[in-house]
């Protein structure tokens, strides 16, 4: 085992100068594939950071830096590579899904991504809940590599009172893109790696990837970015209630409290997961024939779970969330609605 460890280390294109020549010829993606095959098995067994695959080759592959091999060997996905070629000094950004509250919900891929970042760009809401900030900082302290930096960016406030919702969101995204563009240019070193931490899974009601695409489209700052999926609050909701999101051969809809209030949940409605419900839209719909699986602060020590017929539980849930919001100063909750009459 020790022998295998030393052998593959020799392929790593790092110190001392000159030993990178063979790696340059076969390409960092080949080095990466070999290293992963060897190191990942060891890491899985020993959970020892020294046994993890070398970070440098992963970063080079992500940045599209494929060395001399790039002239003849296509990158593993057969395309131009995430950075579109071999541009020296390209920055890499990692958008890392961190789970929705439980530090144990960080995936191994996310932990490894934490270990690759030179700098963490933390987008904080102006009145960010302290406990949520602490959770992110604890994760960085535990999984960041020595010498990492943390830069806090204060997210611009959104005009929630604006009548024109879509325009207000658009304007907010533009200002957010300004902030991120400046931070990437000023804080992520050339050839370095920056990490943006996203609550839950970046694929669900999160704008970080849209903001990065917007920054790239402006054409002033070059970087490649990779998304690391996270465990979403929706996955935790289903797990806690020991249910599935999809019933046999049936669809499920993911929607917002605002839309639920506008559209209702009448007979024939598809099962729906409701998020971003500041106003408690579940209490505004006709509850007849509807079952609710409700969860607040999922994955945290304050978790609240309620499940049953909406007609019996709507008032109780409304009261629980009012009390909880008063006690903690904020609430994050989601629920699954399911008609039981069809």
Ligand X SMILES: C[S@@+](CC[C@H](N)C(=O)[O-])C[C@H]1O[C@@H](n2cnc3c(N)ncnc32)[C@H](O)[C@@H]1O
- Choose, by CB under 6 A, the member of 122, 201, 260, 272 that binds ligand X: 201
**Long-range CB contacts (< 8 A, 24+ apart) of 239-247?**
240/295, 240/298, 240/303, 240/305, 241/293, 241/295, 241/305, 241/307, 241/336, 243/293, 243/336, 245/271, 245/273, 245/336, 246/271, 247/271, 247/338
Q: Does 255 bind ligand X (CB under 6 A)?
A: no
Site for ligand X in 86-105 (CB under 6 A): 100-101
Q: Does 233 bind ligand X (CB under 6 A)?
A: yes
The stretch among 41-49, 139-147, 170-178, 204-212 that binds ligand X (CB under 6 A) is: 204-212
Three-state SS for 152? strand
Spatial CA neighbour of 57 closest among 78, 84, 39, 77: 39
Q: Quick check: 136 and 197 in contact, CB under 8 A?
A: yes
Whether the link from the prior residue into 16 is cis, omega within 30° of 0, is yes
Min separation Cβ 274 and ligand X, Å:
7
Q: Quick check: 195 and 113 in contact, CB under 8 A?
A: yes
Q: Does 144 bind ligand X (CB under 6 A)?
A: no
Provide the mask over 305-334, with x wherever binding to ligand X is found by CB under 6 A and - wherever it is not. Answer: ---------------------------xxx
Q: How many residues bind ligand X (CB under 6 A)?
A: 20
Q: Which is nearer to ligand X, 207 or 221 (CB)?
A: 207
The stretch among 103-111, 211-219, 292-300, 314-322 that binds ligand X (CB under 6 A) is: 292-300
- Choose, by CB under 6 A, the member of 20, 75, 194, 200 that binds ligand X: 200
What DSSP character marks residue 54? P
Q: Which is nearer to ligand X, 118 or 277 (CB)?
A: 277
Min separation Cβ 125 and ligand X, Å:
10
Min separation Cβ 144 and ligand X, Å:
21
The torsion of the CA quartet 52, 54, 57, 62, rounded to 10 degrees, works out to 40
Spatial CA neighbour of 121 closest among 61, 186, 63: 186
Q: Does 131 bind ligand X (CB under 6 A)?
A: no
Min separation Cβ 283 and ligand X, Å:
16
What the block records as the tokens of 302 is 């304050």
Residue ranges in contact with ligand X by CB under 6 A: 100-101, 199-201, 204-206, 232-233, 275-276, 295-299, 332-334
């Amino acid at each position: 085992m020790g022998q295998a460890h030393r052998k593959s280390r020799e392929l790593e294109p790092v110190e001392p100068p000159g030993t990178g020549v063979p790696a340059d010829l076969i390409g960092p993606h080949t080095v990466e594939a070999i290293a992963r095959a060897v190191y990942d098995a060891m890491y899985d067994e020993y959970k020892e950071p020294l046994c993890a695959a070398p970070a440098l080759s992963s970063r080079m592959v992500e940045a599209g830096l494929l060395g001399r091999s790039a002239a003849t060997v296509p990158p593993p996905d057969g395309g131009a590579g995430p950075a579109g070629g071999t541009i020296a000094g390209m920055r890499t950004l990692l958008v890392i899904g961190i789970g929705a509250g439980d530090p144990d919900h960080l995936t191994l891929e996310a932990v490894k991504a934490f270990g690759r970042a030179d700098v963490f760009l933390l987008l904080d809401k102006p009145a960010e809940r302290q406990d949520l900030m602490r959770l992110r900082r604890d994760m960085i302290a535990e999984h960041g590599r020595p010498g990492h930096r943390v830069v806090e960016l204060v997210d611009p406030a959104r005009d929630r009172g604006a009548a024109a919702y879509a325009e207000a969101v658009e304007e907010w995204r533009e200002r957010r893109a300004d902030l991120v563009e400046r931070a990437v240019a000023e804080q992520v070193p050339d050839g370095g790696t920056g990490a943006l931490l996203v609550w839950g899974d970046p694929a669900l009601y999160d704008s970080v990837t849209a903001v990065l695409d917007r920054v790239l489209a402006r054409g002033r700052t070059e970087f490649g970015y990779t998304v690391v999926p996270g465990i979403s609050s929706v996955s935790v909701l289903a797990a806690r209630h020991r249910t599935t999101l999809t019933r046999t051969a049936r669809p499920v809809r993911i929607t917002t409290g605002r839309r639920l209030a506008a559209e209702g949940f009448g007979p024939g409605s598809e099962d729906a997961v409701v998020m971003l419900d500041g106003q408690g839209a579940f209490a505004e719909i006709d509850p007849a024939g509807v079952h609710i699986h409700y969860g607040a602060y999922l994955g945290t020590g304050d978790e609240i779970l309620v499940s049953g017929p909406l007609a019996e539980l709507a008032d109780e849930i409304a009261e629980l969330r009012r009390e909880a919001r008063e006690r903690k100063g904020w609430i994050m909750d989601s629920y699954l609605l399911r008609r039981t009459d069809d």
